[in-house]
Structure 1
Amino acid sequence: MSAPTLHRPSGPSPYRPPRPAPYRPTGLTWTVLRLHRTALYVWGAALLTVVAALVWMHAIGPDARAVTGGCDASDPFPMDCGIIQETEAHKIYAYGLALVSACVTFQMYAVAVWAGAALTGRELESGTARLAWTQSVTPARWLATRLAVPAVLLTVGTTLAVLLGDWARRAGNEELFGGWFNTNVFISSGPAAVAYALAGLALGALAGLVLRRALPAAAAALAAVYVLHEVLDGFRMSLWPAETATGRAALRLPHGTLVLEHGAVTGSGERLSNNMACVGTDSAAALEKCVRGTGLTDFWTTYHPESHFWPLQLMESGLLLAVTGLAAAAAFALLRRQHS
């Protein structure tokens, strides 16, 4: 007895719809991310390193605080108090925060060099930009995307680093990472850090459009942000009016104050700058004795209290954003002129 055979029905095979193709992101944003993925990976790794370091600093902050002494709120010389004993936790906390603050402060240099060399300069030099313009992408849209994508990433990442840095500093002792007016601490503690990064991006992109070659654009962008950084660093404390104290108040300033100038007045009315006589006297009797011995009649001090941190931050951030806007506007104007 033979086994039954299976007969396939004759005629056309039933219709099978094709499998949908896997989704692949498209558009200018995806093009920018894919074209500059190496820089994206490096920046992402650096950001993750900074985040991990700040979380660690926060964890060891109480141990670092435990080995430092407190300062008298009226001590005019905060550096004379504080450290009682140095331990491994203190070293790691102080050096770790200093390193992270420097990285956040000086990231504008790396951003400017990359923007000048790769974001615009190399694409113009190699013809990649011109190829994009032939595919229904206008030069203005091409530049807008190349500025907007890294600007968003830099804003989010730098803001995260600033917030985590403040979180880590509150866990420890401020005597371990310098005063609020220290350059690296000041920039890395507020919106100025974001503004510096955006200014570096805009200046670098402008340099690339002007020179249209990667290496010269990188050098020009580096020089531009160096000048900007040094100028603002030199005039930072002039961006907001300082306060002046006279008499005994000039000798016992609050802790955390940045003294700009201190002087005394003689019996003849002459003002002596940088005269530190009688500073730190503990009582009215001690002050009277000091005044009799020096022949001085009054004292004055020009200073920035710690409460000036935010006005100075906002003023510097505003100037940097103005520079960013001017550089971006110049870049668009130059591109429109070149292709009009």
Structure 2
Amino acid sequence: MSAPTLHRPSGLTWTVLRLHRAALYAWGAALLATAAVLTWMYVIGPDARAAIGPCGSPGTGLPDCEDLRAIGTDETYGIGIGLISTAVSYLMFPVAAWAGGALVGRELENGTAQLAWTQSVTPVRWLVAKLAVPAALLTAGTTLAVLLEVWARRDDNPTLVGHWYGSDAYISTGPVAVAYVLAGLTLGALAGLVLRKALPAAGAAFAVTLVLYNVLDRFRMSLWPASTVTGRAALHLPPDALALENGAVTRNGERLGNDLACVGLDGSSEISRCMQRTGLTDFWATYQPESHFWPLQLVESGLLLAVVGLATAAAFNLLRRRTP
């Protein structure tokens, strides 16, 4: 009796994974390292919060300040969370460069893609596999990294992990992180199809995603209407709010922008005397509260997914025009 035949995986999916196994191994190693670091951050989180809590001298009933400073867990925790946040936030750039250079550009430059097209693989099926396989892996892996970071942050104490509106914290704790990675993938693939050479495509993909990132970072807080408050409350915004603009109103009704007069005064009598002295009648401020985190995330994710759709459509259109 002959030994049973072992069937090896085949098909376009397996081909993509085999050709880019180095990138697959690197991605897997990065996810394992991320999971390990964030798990450690979750474990030491309570000690880090205790280290920045109230303290006093011996005999006051509070933890000794010198003992808390000697622990240093808060610094380790903040650095660990910060490193992972930065890595997730800037993941789109290496993804774009890899997609343009290795995933598409190199195969067109070396003729590997053209050889596959002469076999049973059509250009459209080839590009579908080139985009779908890494997109699935990147989506799953980035989602896992985001969920682990949210888990490790626990109560998101800004003293330890930064404010929610900081670029790294904002991107790495919401669905916009996945949208950025997919935008990098599709823009990189499009650059590879346009330039058909590995190094130029990698450079162009990196540059385009850099422009996209900076434009959205510049206008992010304009993607959702800001809240406006008037009166004394404008002088004391919530601690988790991002102040966009503040000012005062004069006796003749003129609205002054970014007027800091009387800001920082606590007592009502002090504020009243300051208003009389400076000729002000009211205060106003516009800000983004933490409750706007999800609306901002969804709008920015929608814009990025629109870029993904446009880049994907342009890539397939270009491929059809260049192939029989």
TM category, shorter: over 0.9
Q: Does 1:329 align with 2:313?
A: yes
Match 1:106 to one of 90, 106, 113: 90
Q: Could you say which residue in structure 1 is the equivalent of 2:36?
A: 52
TM-score by length of structure 1 reads 0.88
**Which deviates more from structure 2 when the two are superposed, residues 287-296 or residues 128-137?**
287-296
Q: Could you say which residue in structure 1 is the equivalent of 2:61?
A: none
After superposition, residues 1-340 of structure 1 pair within 5 angstroms as: 16=1, 18-69=2-53, 85=69, 87-170=71-154, 173-340=157-324
Partners of 2:133 and 2:300 in 1: CA distance: 24
The amino acid across from 1:179 in the alignment is H
**Which deviates more from structure 2 when the two are superposed, residues 250-259 or residues 217-226?**
250-259
Show CA shifts across 1:277-307 (max 9, x none).
2334434333323323332111010111110
Partners of 1:327 and 1:207 in 2: CA distance: 9
Contact 1:29–1:145, Cα closer than 8 Å, also in 2: yes
Partners of 1:285 and 1:206 in 2: CA distance: 63
Partners of 2:250 and 2:52 in 1: CA distance: 40
Q: Kindly tell me: are residues 172 and 231 of structure 1, through their superposed partners in 2, closer, same or farther at Cα, counting changes over 3 Å? A: closer
Q: What's the offset of the Cα at 1:36?
A: 0.2
The amino acid across from 1:226 in the alignment is L
Q: Kindly tell me: are residues 270 and 69 of structure 1, through their superposed partners in 2, closer, same or farther at Cα, counting changes over 3 Å? A: farther
The amino acid across from 1:312 in the alignment is L
The amino acid across from 1:178 in the alignment is G
**Which deviates more from structure 2 when the two are superposed, residues 231-240 or residues 260-269?**
260-269
Partners of 1:118 and 1:20 in 2: CA distance: 37
**Which deviates more from structure 2 when the two are superposed, residues 279-288 or residues 309-318?**
279-288
Contact 2:51–2:72, Cα closer than 8 Å, also in 1: no
SS at match of 1:115: helix
Q: Which runs of 5+ in 2 are unaligned?
A: 55-67
Partners of 2:75 and 2:40 in 1: CA distance: 13
Q: What's the offset of the Cα at 1:274?
A: 1.6
The amino acid across from 2:196 in the alignment is R
Contact 1:62–1:172, Cα closer than 8 Å, also in 2: no
Q: What's the offset of the Cα at 1:132?
A: 1.0
Q: Size of the alignment, in residue pairs?
A: 311
Of all paired residues, the percent bearing the same amino acid is 64
Show CA shifts across 1:134-177 (max 9, x none).
12111000000110000000000000110110111116623212
Contact 1:259–1:301, Cα closer than 8 Å, also in 2: yes
TM-score by length of structure 2 reads 0.92
Q: Which runs of 5+ in 1 are unaligned?
A: 1-15, 71-83
SS at match of 2:170: helix
SS at match of 2:281: strand
SS at match of 1:24: coil
The amino acid across from 2:235 in the alignment is L
**Which deviates more from structure 2 when the two are superposed, residues 268-277 or residues 304-313?**
268-277
Partners of 2:316 and 2:31 in 1: CA distance: 30
Q: What's the offset of the Cα at 1:275?
A: 1.8
Q: What's the offset of the Cα at 1:182?
A: 0.4
Q: What's the offset of the Cα at 1:272?
A: 2.2
Partners of 2:211 and 2:107 in 1: CA distance: 26
**Which deviates more from structure 2 when the two are superposed, residues 291-300 or residues 145-154?**
291-300
Larger radius of gyration: 1
Q: Kindly tell me: are residues 288 and 253 of structure 1, through their superposed partners in 2, closer, same or farther at Cα, counting changes over 3 Å? A: same
Q: Could you say which residue in structure 1 is the equivalent of 2:62?
A: none
Q: What's the offset of the Cα at 1:226?
A: 0.4
